[in-house]
Amino acid sequence: MVEAEDHNSVRTVLIDLRDYLLTQFPDFDPTAINTVGVQTDYTRIPSLGQNHEIAAIVSIRDKLEAEGWGAACLDPLDAELAKLPTVGLGENVLTDHHNAKKDALSRILWCLQHPPAVYYWLTYWRMFHSDIYGTGRGAANGLNHVYCGPGGGGDNNLYALFPDGSLDWVFNLSSFRLTASPIVGDDGVIYIGANNRMYAVNPDGSEKWNYDTSPLGSITGAPGLSPDESRLYFGSFNDKVICLRTSDGAEQWTYDTGADVNAYGCLVGPDGTIYIGGNTDRVYALNPDGSLKWSYLTGGDVRSRPALSFPSKNRLYFGSGDNKLYCLDLNGALQWTYLTGGGISSSPAVGEDGTIYTTSNDGKLYAVKPDGSLKWSYYIGVVAQLLSSPALGPDGTIYFGSDKPASSLWAVKPDGSLRWSYGPLDKIESSPAVSKSGLILFGIAYMYPNLGPGAYIYCLYPDGTLNWRYLTGAPAPPPPPPTILRGILSSPAIV
């Protein structure tokens, strides 16, 4: 027979599991972790019988997968789940058996509390290039919408496309030159900057609010959302980092950097710290209340959106116009730099093994180890601007775009060899987005009056073949000037 203390020991661990899940997912149903009365699909584990504790863990595991936990988190959890001892109907439960169950549950709790990454595939797009690791990964539950906008004097619309590339709606941003990229909150609201205005657009394409940054407040980078999505942060050419309330667009605070803030976007850490670069050659760490935490001086402009180390989240990576990839700790102390052959304007992406991927304007993609040493580099064959930030596919393939004279979308294997390239196209500044199913989405630009192939949004299959492309209404108006950049400069957001 099972002693009362054995029942209580298991129940204690289950209560710990329940409380932990509630801190991670406020909408989690606490009844799913009761030791009795659990409703679950018992065919998942035929030997479950009346093992309600195991049924509760199965329910938790399915919840986490639905919330976007990747294999790096679920595999160790599944391994512990498989070790849980089960009891057939009518069997007596021995104390040793119950202790084994308690130990296994305790290990599962540890797995939950120490995952490699809680959100490696996301159902939202809270900042430039999706997540705190800069992976460009999204659409965890399947591709539902693609949001992207052409810039440089075209029709200046934000486009919402269905997964098959057909149009859902357009929203006019009244901007001559749209270079900023959209982000998407968990509630489906899209945020995008255009000239001197930040817009919040409802999921149906109607305007929620807009905020005016005039005068001289052009917005060229993507905003970022606070962890609870109540605040929106972005930089502007009026030298400021600005914080708005997402419910109504009301200004909460500004921080003056002393020069244009033209970074591709900002990183908002799990603790709410905002990391952003600019034309002062510095990267700034701001507290959620807008006060300065620290700043670090580099030798060039910092347009790169920083990324956190994986899985520790205790290192900050970013590039600079001084040709270097930087690694700082979260107190702003330098850990190492890696010198490339050109300025780095793109944003790094961090892989599941901790490798940092960055492009440089020397025509190379670099893979750098967490200790700052080179793993490998891939040269596209010519020196060209690589402003497109790398994105990581489900199988670890690294995707990025390049400018002329070798303008293509490149797919490089995790070992540094070429998988395929798609092109030639025209100028690709747009950073690719990758769905969990492996679809790759990006936009192209061109130099007017040479219209080239047009301002298309592309969707490729993982093997590099075309799925679809959508032609935006972005033909340039007549001169002046005789040559000017047109087309899609912003990067897609996918949900």
| Residue range 316-342, pLDDT digits in tens | 999 999 999 999 999 999 999 999 999
Asked if residue 132 belongs to a domain, the reply is no
User: Does 482 lie in the same domain as 388?
Assistant: yes
Q: Is the peptide bond before 480 cis (omega within 30 degrees of 0)?
A: yes
As beta bridge partners, residue 24 has: none
What ranges make up the beta strands (E) of 340-492?
349-350, 356-360, 364-368, 374-379, 391-392, 398-401, 409-412, 418-422, 433-435, 440-443, 445-448, 456-460, 466-471, 484-487
Distant-in-sequence, close-in-space partners of 434: CB < 8 Å, separation ≥ 6 = 135, 136, 137, 138, 391, 392, 393, 394, 399, 440, 441
What's 281-298 look like in SS3?
A: CEEEEECCCCCEEEEEEC
Residues 365 and 228 both lie in one domain: yes
CA gap 474, 280 in Å, rounded: 33
Q: What is the mean pLDDT of residues 415-432?
A: 91
Q: Are residues 200 and 289 in the same domain?
A: yes
Percentage, residues of the chain above pLDDT 90: 47
Closest CA to 144 of 188, 176, 205: 188
Kindly state whether residue 124 falls inside one of the protein's structural domains: no
Mean pLDDT of the region 55-75: 63
Contact 221, 262 (CB under 8 A): yes
Structure confidence at residue 481 (pLDDT) = 47
Count of structural domains, the chain? 2
Between 305 and 120, residue with greater pLDDT: 305
**Co-location of 409 and 274 in the same domain:** yes
- Cα(119)–Cα(439) distance, integer angstroms: 19
Lowest mean pLDDT among 61-65, 69-73, 211-215, 436-440: 69-73
Same domain? For 87 and 145 the reply is no
* Lowest mean pLDDT segment, chosen from 40-44, 96-100, 139-143, 464-468: 40-44
Q: What is the mean pLDDT of residues 264-271?
A: 91
pLDDT band at 166 (very low <50, low <70, confident <90, very high): very high
Distance, CA of 158 to CA of 155 (rounded, Å): 9
The pLDDT value given to residue 364:
96
Residue 428 within a domain: yes
Distances (CA, A) of 97 to 53, 58, 69, 88, 477: 13, 19, 30, 12, 76
User: Tell me, what's the pLDDT at 39?
Assistant: 36
Does one domain contain both 360 and 489?
Answer: yes
Q: Are residues 28 and 79 in the same domain?
A: yes
The boundaries of the domain holding residue 308 are 140-494
pTM (predicted TM-score): 0.78
Which of 111-115, 178-182, 330-334 shows the lowest mean pLDDT across its residues?
111-115
127 domain-assigned: no
Provide the pLDDT for residue 455: 79
Whether the Cβ atoms of residue 369 and residue 355 lie closer than 8 Å to each other: yes
Q: Which amino acid would we find at residue 305?
A: R
The first and second tokens of residue 287, run together, are: 């507290």
Query: What band does 116 get if pLDDT is binned at 50, 70 and 90?
Result: very low
* Distance between CA atoms of residues 444 and 422, nearest Å: 12
Per-residue model confidence (pLDDT) at position 153: 45
Residue 36 pLDDT class (50, 70, 90 cuts): very low
pLDDT above 70 coverage of the chain, percent: 68
Q: Which two tokens stand for residue 16?
A: 């710990």
Could you say which DSSP state residue 112 is in?
A: H
In this predicted model, what pLDDT tens digit does every residue of 447-473 receive, in sequence order?
Answer: 554 555 567 899 999 999 999 999 887
Final residue of a structural domain among 94, 113, 132 = 113
| Position 91 confidence tier, pLDDT thresholds 50, 70, 90 | very low
CATH, residue 246:
2.130.10.10
Q: How many residues does the chain have?
A: 495
Give the residue, 97 or 492, on which the prediction is more confident: 492
